[in-house]
């Protein structure tokens, strides 16, 4: 068994330091042009990774970001931990009672903004898989992934966009947020199910997989949530602040993630549901929520999003046809579905379109989804690059299109 050497530690610390510093500098530069922070982090990954440095000076790239060995294993571990914690943060944003409070309009929007893009993506991927770079026709897993990828929204990105536009507390903003919560919840449930089946659970079977997923979710959102509700006041007053709530919340997140990973359901689902259980608690102080959010998004998020560019050559794997198809289907399915749901829910057509474009922002959640699918062998690098581009473009265009229809 090889030990983590003196030089291994130097390489790992250097890589992390460079990633954090460059990510912050590039992201802050991008913010001046209203680009999302995640875009700056992906750009850093492209510059440091196979696309630029790896092409210009592959020896230097391999010395700082080795593909195998102790450093590679340690860095992959940090990246996997980052994904788990990012899904925990996403779960913190989900407040299930809000969906019900918005009434039938939110239910219509939630249902159709999920159903239509999922059905569109599934249908095209099933009957025309070559459009997405897949030569296998009738692939249920691949088709379900495309449907899920086109149906999911990015709740943290949408919330930030609405806050910047001073729309978060308006009726339109609340409908968008409530529907995005529903999309994220069901999207990650479906995707976790796909990963569980794809990873090979012949001994458990599909029925047991579904039972485990829903059993764990129901337990955490009932008994688990009550335990968290009763414990949080004591944690936030009796333990040191803010270390107590930070340690306990992340600790529970990791235990839930470990449990779902143990039963062959991906760790992200455990983290996401743990986040929902914490985020739904009335006793979680807003300042505590913000501290957790800041800690994870400013340290772990850059490691994950930069790693995307380190692994994939964006120039070699750019396919204009696949990118175009993914963009057209993403805009049509999500915008039409959400707009239709809002319209039959009683909103005027311009407000309905504003909600449609608000829910169209995919952002970080789409990129996480794509990365996990790529690692699981569900999709090709070309389709992954197309999903990343789609996530960035939909996030960039969301705010101006919302503004246009609310004028």
pLDDT (tens digit, 0 to 9) for every residue of the chain, 407 residues total? 468 888 889 999 999 999 999 999 998 888 888 777 877 888 898 899 888 988 898 888 888 888 888 888 899 899 889 888 988 987 887 776 766 676 788 889 989 999 999 999 999 999 988 888 887 766 788 898 899 989 888 777 787 678 767 787 777 887 888 888 788 778 877 887 777 776 654 445 556 667 777 788 888 888 988 898 889 888 888 888 888 888 999 999 999 999 888 877 778 888 888 988 888 787 888 888 888 888 888 899 889 888 888 878 888 899 999 999 999 999 999 999 999 999 998 889 999 999 999 899 887 778 888 888 888 788 889 999 999 899 888 888 888 898 888 87
Q: Where are the domains of the chain?
A: 6-81, 86-305+315-406
Q: How far apart are CA 209 and CA 201, in angstroms?
A: 8
pLDDT of residue 199: 62
DSSP conformation letters of 267-326: HHHHHHHHHHHHHT-TTS-HHHHHHHHHHIIIIIHHHHHHHHHHH--TTTT--HHHHHHH
pLDDT of residue 102: 66
Average pLDDT along the chain? 84
Beta carbons of 383 and 142 less than 8 angstroms apart: no
Cβ-proximal residues to 78 (8 Å cutoff; 6+ apart), any chain: 16, 300, 303
pLDDT of residue 324: 95
Q: Count helices and strands (H / E) in the chain.
A: 20, 0
> What does R_g of the chain's alpha carbons equal in angstroms?
21
Sign, CA torsion 151/148/319/42: positive
Burial class (CB in 10 A: 0-12, 13-18, 19+), 223: exposed
Smallest Cα–Cα separation from 258: which of 271, 277, 272? 271
Indicate the SS3 state at residue 14: helix
Task: Note the CATH number of domain 86-305+315-406.
Answer: 1.20.1530.20
């Amino acid at each position: 068994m090889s030990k983590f050497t003196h030089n291994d530690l130097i390489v790992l610390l250097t890589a992390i330091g460079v990633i954090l510093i460059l990510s912050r500098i590039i992201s802050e530069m991008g913010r001046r042009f209203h680009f999302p922070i995640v875009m700056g982090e992906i750009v850093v990954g492209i510059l440091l990774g196979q696309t630029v440095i790896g092409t210009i000076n592959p020896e230097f790239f391999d010395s700082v970001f080795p593909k195998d060995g102790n450093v590679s294993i340690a860095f992959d571990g940090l990246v996997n931990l980052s994904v788990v914690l990012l899904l925990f943060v996403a779960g913190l944003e989900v407040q299930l009672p809000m969906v019900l409070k918005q009434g039938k309009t939110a239910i219509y929007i939630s249902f159709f903004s999920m159903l239509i893009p999922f059905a569109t993506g599934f249908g095209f991927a099933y009957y025309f898989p070559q459009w997405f770079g897949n030569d296998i026709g009738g692939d249920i897993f691949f088709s379900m992934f495309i449907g899920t990828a086109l149906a999911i929204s990015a709740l943290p990105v949408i919330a930030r966009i609405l806050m910047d536009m001073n729309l978060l507390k308006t009726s339109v903003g609340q409908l968008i947020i409530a529907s995005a919560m529903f999309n994220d919840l069901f999207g990650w449930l479906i995707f976790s199910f796909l990963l569980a089946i794809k990873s090979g659970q012949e001994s458990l079977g599909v029925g047991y997989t579904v039972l485990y997923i829903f059993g764990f979710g129901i337990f955490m959102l009932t008994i688990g949530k009550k335990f968290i509700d009763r414990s949080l006041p004591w944690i936030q007053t009796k333990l040191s602040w803010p270390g107590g709530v930070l340690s306990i919340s992340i600790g529970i997140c990791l235990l839930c993630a470990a449990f779902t990973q143990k039963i062959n359901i991906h760790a992200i689902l455990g983290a996401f549901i743990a986040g929902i259980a914490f985020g739904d608690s009335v006793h979680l102080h807003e300042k505590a929520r913000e501290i957790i959010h800041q800690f994870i998004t400013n340290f772990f998020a850059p490691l994950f999003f930069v790693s995307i560019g380190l692994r994939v050559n964006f120039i070699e794997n750019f396919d204009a046809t696949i990118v175009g198809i993914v963009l057209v289907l993403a805009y049509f399915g999500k915008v039409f579905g959400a707009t239709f749901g809002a319209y039959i829910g009683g909103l005027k057509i311009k407000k309905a379109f504003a909600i449609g474009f608000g829910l169209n922002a995919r952002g970080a959640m789409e990129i996480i989804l794509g990365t996990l699918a790529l690692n699981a062998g569900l999709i090709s690098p070309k389709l992954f690059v197309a999903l990343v581009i789609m996530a960035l473009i939909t996030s960039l265009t969301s705010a101006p299109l919302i503004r246009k229809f609310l004028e």
